[in-house]
Amino acid sequence: MMANGYDATLSAQLGGLDPFMLMGLSTIGMMAVGWLIGPIFGNQLFSLAYRGVLAEFTAVSKAVHSGGHRLVVRIGSDM
């Protein structure tokens, strides 16, 4: 089935790779691209979705990552 299809033509152009190897390498390559590009889009979507409370998130993040102060967060309480 794959011997006469597009995968066979493409694999012949790319040095004679087996079509299944070509699909596997393509899958791994796309996973790597998604892993690298994903945080860029994720950060932008998070900033758009939570822009009303982004200043609070930033303040808490700075407090946590500074390491100098102990941060107490009450979950479920009204602030």
The answer, yes or no, to whether residue 1 has pLDDT greater than 50, is no
Residue-level length of the chain: 79
Q: Which H/E stretch holds residue 24?
A: helix 19-49
Tell me the pLDDT tens digit for each residue of 3-61: 566 667 776 777 777 778 888 888 999 999 999 999 999 999 989 998 888 888 888 88
User: Which residues are CB-contacts of 25 (< 8 A; sequence separation ≥ 6)?
Assistant: 17
Q: Which pLDDT does position 71 carry in this prediction?
A: 58
Beta strands in 1-79 (DSSP E): none
